[in-house]
Structure 1
Amino acid sequence: MKKMFLKLLLLCLWRLNGVFGVSGVYVMEGESVSLNSDLTEMKDDDVIQWRFGYENTLIAEINKRADRITVYDDVLDGRFRDRLKLDNQTGSLTITDTTTEHEGDYKLQINSEIKRFILIVFGVCVCVCVFGDSGLESVMKGDSVSLNSDLTEMKDDGVIQWRFGEENTVIAEINVTADRITVYDDVLDGRFRDRLKLDNQTGSLTITNITTEHEGVYQLLINREIKCFILFVIDEVKSVSVKEGDSVTLNSDLTEMKDGDVIQWRFGDENTVIAVINKPNDRITVHDDVLDGRFRDRLKLDNQTGSLTITNTTTEHDGDYKLLMFPGRLSSKVFRVSVYGE
Structure 2
Amino acid sequence: MSVRCLSPLFVLLMVVSIGAVSGATGLKCYLGDEVSFKPNPTLSSGSTITWKFWSAVGSVIRVIEFDHGESTHPHNPLFKESIAADKYTGELTLKHVKKDHSGLYYFEINGKEQEQKFTLQVMDQSSGVMAGICVSLLLLVMAAVVIYSHHKMRHQGVDAHEVKSVSVMEGHSVTLHTHFIDMQTEDVIVWRFGPEKTRIVTINLEANSFLEFADVLDGMFRDRLQVDSQTGSLNITDIKTQHSGLYQMIISGKQKTSYTFSVTVFARLPVPVISQNSSQCSTSSERSSVSKCVLLCSVMNVTHVSLSWYNESHVHSSISVSDLNIRLSLPLEVEYQDTNKYRCVINNTFTNHTQHLNITQLCQLNQCSDCGSCCHGPESMIRLVIAAVVGVATVAVLVYDLQI
TM-score > 0.5, shorter chain as reference: no
Q: When the two structures are superposed, what TM-score results if normalisation uses the length of structure 2? A: 0.32
Higher RCO structure (Cα 8 Å, ≥6 apart)? 1
Q: When the two structures are superposed, what TM-score results if normalisation uses the length of structure 1? A: 0.37
More strand by share: 1
Q: Larger C-alpha radius of gyration, 1 or 2?
A: 2
